[in-house]
Structure 1
Amino acid sequence: MKHFSYTGSGPYCYSNAFAMMLGETSPSTNVIEFATSSAFGMHLLRGTLPFFDPFCWTPEASFDDTLAALGWTSDLVHGDDPQSALATLKAALVDGPVWIGPVEMGHLRHQPGRMGPIGADHYVVVIEMDETSVLMHDPEGFPYARLPVDLFLKAWQTETLDYGTPFTLRSGFRRIAVRSNTEIIRAALPAARRWLAGAGVSEVPPGTIGNGEAAEALAAMIERGVEEGLRDHLIHFAVRVGARRAADAATCLTQIGEVQAAAILDRQARLIGSLQYPLVTRDDATAAAQLRALAPTYEALLATLPA
């Protein structure tokens, strides 16, 4: 079965934010996302919340490796308190836009329906600020969005997220190596394999499981009955981004001739993507069967993915 690449919208906030910061020389977002290793695994956080990304992976944990594979570096700053964070942001903006995140998406009131914290992480690029508001490109689909400073600070404080250091920003993006897409993909492979294997994880939240075990456990959870919060998380975020990540990773591996690993990722993308309709229509038995078919693909991918 031939792999067919995806182009379109999706929750790729940090990859889109990085692409904005890298400017005209940026690789495509599918290559950036590949370099984050996000496609290589799945996990059930604390045994209850599913993500189609590696065991105990977070975006923050992969960003330095991502930039290194891309041939870039940046200055990373964590603020100590709201006022010092604003002062740091103001100083950084003198040299151009600033990459911000994670932030709590629920406080971004320019997005329709956002009324307070929802535990969802997000990344934006701040362009300007004044005493009352912050102007940003929000890759959720809101260019030049303006947000009051107090709401921006609430979002940036990350109090309601499962990960993240408050008031984190990156500026001073500098290119240190000129790399083709092929070179970026190959440079990112060692980190991808480590994440898929669950290697190097030092802090594991109690009850968290990964890969095939996580897929089987999620299938059993769905068969027992899906709470509305879990269903919403799956159909509005986890399935959408998981299918796209796997599809983009298959595209990248195809570009470098790793056809066997690409075929497995293509199958993962098809299985994850095919969860959307049964979960929306509440055909949970079909969704559970798809997850059980997904479970063995992670070991198969590990056996074929080059280091």
Structure 2
Amino acid sequence: MALQAAGAERDWLPEPGFLECLTTLPFGKLYLELPTGPQVFFSNAAVNPNQGISLALKTLGWSCQEWPSSQDAASVDERQALATLRAAVEEQPALVGPLDLGWLTYHPEHSYLRGADHFALVLAVHDEYVLLHDPQKYPYAWLPVRDFLEAWRAEKIGYPHAPFTLRMRFRAQERPAPERAVLIARTLSLIRAQWGQSFEGPVLYSGVAALKRLMVALQADRWSHLLERQLVNFVLPLASRRLLDAALFLSEAGLAAAATCLQEQALLCGRAQWFLGQRKRQALQDCLQRLVVLEKELPALLAG
């Protein structure tokens, strides 16, 4: 939506699932061993969502102004941030995030989502409210300015970012726009390079190591309830969606075996979500074990 508002041709703009793959986020597994409890995401451990957006824009042949700059981030206050955002949206919608979902008070379950990240498009800034386009089923979301600023400050978001992160003034850098085959080739090059970055603790685990840590954590009494809630309500449904997007992307790239591998992973995530909801713990562990086997096979399949 941001690119279209900036003049991108509608018949060129890729669909959301394809754009998600350009961030490289659907390709990988991530487990964090934190003092407050473990967190797991079926997401690329080499990049965070904020970095993924920048990667996708570069791959698409677009640029934008990112604010604040790394030099200014420490000194930015909310009044300056709001003034910058207000001026930006007078030209075109601006992308804000990460936002803390816990402060998006138009969301009926916001009080349970504190610390979860989100991104949205700002359409207008009024004296008392900010008008957002939230892609998660809220095309016109009205949010009080105070709640918006707390969400935009994003103090509880766990990965590195500046408060009040804003992307504005989107511009095409390549003419003509890159064809889909070019976008796929650029992204595959990134994914293959990232796959060589293995993380095995003590805080961050990736790939097979992340899945194995998850299996152990689900058997531990201390954190199992917290982790099960994350998995059943958010992580596994999102994982199935992302893995299906990734499978379609790899199929279009001509990597049929890798696409089949990710499609089976998507199916297993759906089964795991049901098993977890039904308290079928052994069946859940069997699903995760099969995911480990597939994850081990994937690097060779991605190499083509």
For normalisation by structure 2, the TM-score amounts to 0.88
- The aligned residue for residue 29 of structure 2 is 42
Do residues 237 (structure 1) and 227 (structure 2) align?
no
Q: What is the alpha-carbon distance in structure 2 between the residues aligned to residue 83 and residue 125 of structure 1?
A: 19
Residue identity opposite 1:249 in structure 2: A
1:98 equivalent in alignment to 2:91: no
Alpha-carbon contact 2:2-2:94 (below 8 Å) kept? no
Out of 207, 211, 219, the position equivalent to 1:211 is: 207
Alpha-carbon distance, 1:197 to partner: 2.5
2:124 counterpart SS class? strand
Letter in 2 for 1:38: L
Partner of 2:128: 132
What is the identity percentage for the equivalent residue pairs of Structure 1 and Structure 2? 30
Contact 1:244 1:269 in 2 (8 A): yes
Contact 1:35 1:188 in 2 (8 A): yes
Question: Structure 2 vs 1, CA of residues 116 and 149 (structure 1 numbering), >3 Å: closer, same or farther?
Answer: farther
1:179 equivalent in alignment to 2:151: no
Kept in 2, the 8 Å contact 1:218–1:288? The answer is no
Q: Give the secondary-structure state (helix, strand or coil) at the position aligned to 1:249.
A: helix
Deviating beyond 4 angstroms after TM superposition, the runs of 4 or more aligned structure 1 residues are 16-23
Kindly indicate whether the alpha-carbon contact (under 8 Å) linking 2:132 and 2:140 is maintained by their aligned counterparts in 1.
Answer: yes
Query: Contact between 1:19 and 1:27, CA under 8 Å: does it hold in 2?
Result: no
1:293 positional shift: 0.9
1:280 is matched with: 277
SS at match of 1:118: coil
The two structures have a TM-score, normalised by structure 1, of 0.87
Contact map agreement 2:24 2:190 (CA 8 A) in 1: yes
Change (3 A) 1:56 1:180: closer
CA distance in 2, matches of 1:23, 1:85: 30
CA distances 1:129-163 after superposition (whole Å, capped 9, x unpaired):
11111001111111111111000000000101102
Once the two structures are overlaid, the 10-residue window that deviates more, 220-229 or 68-77, is 220-229
Secondary structure of the corresponding residue to residue 55 of structure 1: coil
What is the aligned length? 289
One-letter identity of the residue aligned with 1:213? A
> Structure 1: any 5+ residue segments left out of the alignment?
1-15
Relative to 1, partners in 2 of residues 1:240 and 1:249: Cα closer, same or farther, differing over 3 Å?
Answer: same
TM-superposed CA distance for 1:18, in Å, is: 6.7
2:144 matched to 1:155? no
Structure 1 residue 67 displacement after superposition: 1.0
The structure-2 alpha-carbon separation of the partners of 1:147 and 1:116, relative to structure 1 and needing over 3 Å to count, comes to farther
Matched, 1:87 2:83: yes
Residue 61 of structure 1: how far off its partner (Å): 2.1
What is the CA-CA distance between 1:291 and the residue it aligns to? 0.8
The answer on 1:107 being equivalent to 2:106 is no
Q: How do 1:221-236 residues align onto structure 2 when only pairs under 5 Å count?
A: 221-225=217-221, 227-236=224-233
1:63 paired to 2:53: yes
Q: Which has the higher contact order (CA 8 A, sep 6+)?
A: 1
Counterparts of 2:229 and 2:2 in 1: how far apart (Å)? 25
- Please list every run of 5 or more consecutive structure 2 residues that lacks an aligned counterpart in the other structure: none
Change beyond 3 A, Cα 1:17–1:122: farther
**Counterpart residue identity of residue 73, structure 1:** S
Partners in 1 of 2:201 and 2:129 — Cα distance? 37
For residues 265 and 17 of structure 1, do their structure 2 counterparts lie closer, same or farther at Cα, with a shift above 3 Å needed?
farther
Deviation, 1:250, is: 0.9
Residue 297 of structure 1, aligned match among 285, 294, 299: 294
Instruction: Describe the superposition over 1:234-291 as per-residue Cα deviations: whole angstroms up to 9, x where unpaired.
Output: 1121111111111111101111211122122112212222211011112122111111
Equivalence for 1:74: 64
Equivalent position of 2:194 in the other structure = 195
Which residue number corresponds to residue 11 of structure 1? Answer: none
